């Protein structure tokens, strides 16, 4: 992790311990996944860091040869599933490309093996550029995936600018996914980067947190209305910033620990400056 922290996924154990499936960059900017264990208290304390990655770089030429990142972890009848974004450098006008991968664990999330060396949802004619971060949740008798879909690249910008937002897919087994063609969260004026969806149910309400970028990265939330559609609430979530998160607040996850509600997120440099949290205030 000499190049700094990156996107993560927190799991709260029954005793209140928090395990972060954490992304970290090396000195060359390549990203791997490991586990950081935190003893939760008023002053949280890191108690363990896996010495080696639980998921390392893919093989040369593969979709994840330069990094695995943006973990989404869930339990299923197939064991613990770890969805991840694999990326590789391209150079030229478009600097990188991303695709969705899957790894599985049969020992409760201690070690993982790739389900396939190929992307889980390959590019199609409708989606030719790639897929980024995802959030996978139960949906009736099936599963729903909220995924970041890359739409286009503006190669006239300096540097080149990717456009993406959040769409929906469905599955009966968490492996084979049907793209529903539903744009769950579209751009608002001035935005171009909208992703990192994270589902949370709060007092019976379905909420989808995400990161949107216009001039700066900020965290927003949408809620599911009676007709089943998500509606974005106005304005970003208000978090008082300090030196480490003054430019970016991104990649959110909401968790409840011992009856208290926290928003975990990455700070400046997509998390290079650190990963932190804010405790929720109020009822909404």
128-164, pLDDT tens digit by residue?
999 999 999 998 889 999 999 999 999 999 999 999 9
Mean pLDDT for the stretch of residues 89-105: 95
Q: pLDDT by residue (tens digit) across 225-247?
A: 977 789 999 999 999 999 999 99
Detail the DSSP E strand segments found in 13-49.
18-25, 31-39, 45-49
Q: Domain containing 195: what range? A: 4-279
Average pLDDT, the chain: 94
**243 domain-assigned:** yes
251 located within any domain: yes
90 backbone φψ class: left, alpha, beta (φ>0; ψ -120 to 50):
alpha
Instruction: Output the pLDDT for position 283.
Output: 58
Task: Assess if residue 201 is contained within a domain.
Answer: yes
pTM of this structure = 0.95
Answer yes or no: is 284 within a domain: no
Number of domains in the chain: 1
Residue 284 predicted with pLDDT over 80: no
CATH code of residue 46: 2.115.10.20
Average pLDDT over residues 177-200: 95
- Rounded Cα distance between 51 and 228, Å, is 44
Range of lowest pLDDT (97-101, 212-216, 257-261):
212-216
pLDDT digits (tens, 9 = 90+) for 38-59: 999 989 999 999 999 999 999 9
In a domain, 223, yes or no: yes
pLDDT at 214: 82
Task: Tell me: pLDDT of 224 over 70.
Answer: yes
Is 60 exceeded by the pLDDT of residue 24?
Answer: yes
Residue 139: inside a domain, yes or no? yes
Burial 75-98 (b: 16+ CB within 10 A, else e): eeeeebbbbbbbbbeeeeeeeebb
158 in a structural domain: yes
Q: Looking at the domain assignment, is residue 136 inside a domain?
A: yes
Percentage of the chain lying above the pLDDT 90 cut: 84
**251 and 196 Cβ atoms separated by less than 8 Å:** yes
């Amino acid at each position: 992790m000499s190049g700094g922290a990156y996107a993560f996924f927190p799991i709260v154990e029954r005793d209140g311990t928090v395990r972060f499936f954490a992304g970290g960059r090396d000195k060359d900017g390549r990203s791997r996944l490991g586990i950081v264990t935190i003893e939760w208290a008023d002053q949280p304390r890191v108690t363990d860091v896996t010495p080696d990655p639980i998921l390392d770089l893919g093989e040369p030429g593969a979709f994840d040869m330069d990094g695995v990142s943006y973990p989404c972890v869930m339990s299923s009848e197939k064991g613990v599933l770890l969805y991840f974004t694999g990326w590789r450098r391209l150079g030229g006008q478009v600097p990188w490309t991303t695709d969705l991968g899957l790894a599985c664990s049969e020992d409760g999330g201690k070690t993982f093996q790739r389900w396939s060396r190929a992307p889980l949802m390959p590019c199609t004619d409708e989606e030719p550029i790639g897929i980024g971060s995802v959030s996978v949740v139960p949906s009736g008798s099936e599963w729903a995936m909220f995924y970041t879909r890359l739409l286009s690249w503006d190669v006239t910008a300096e540097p080149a600018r990717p456009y993406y937002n959040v769409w929906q897919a469905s599955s009966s087994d968490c492996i084979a996914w049907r793209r529903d063609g539903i744009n769950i969260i579209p751009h608002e004026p001035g935005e171009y980067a909208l992703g990192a969806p994270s589902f949370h149910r709060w007092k019976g309400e379905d909420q989808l947190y995400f990161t949107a970028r216009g001039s700066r990265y900020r965290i927003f939330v949408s809620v599911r209305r009676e007709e089943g559609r998500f509606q974005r609430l106005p304005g970003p979530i208000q978090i008082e910033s300090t030196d480490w998160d003054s430019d970016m607040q991104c990649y959110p996850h909401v968790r409840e620990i011992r009856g208290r509600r926290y928003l975990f997120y990455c700070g400046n440099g997509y998390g290079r400056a650190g990963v932190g949290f804010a405790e929720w205030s109020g009822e909404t």
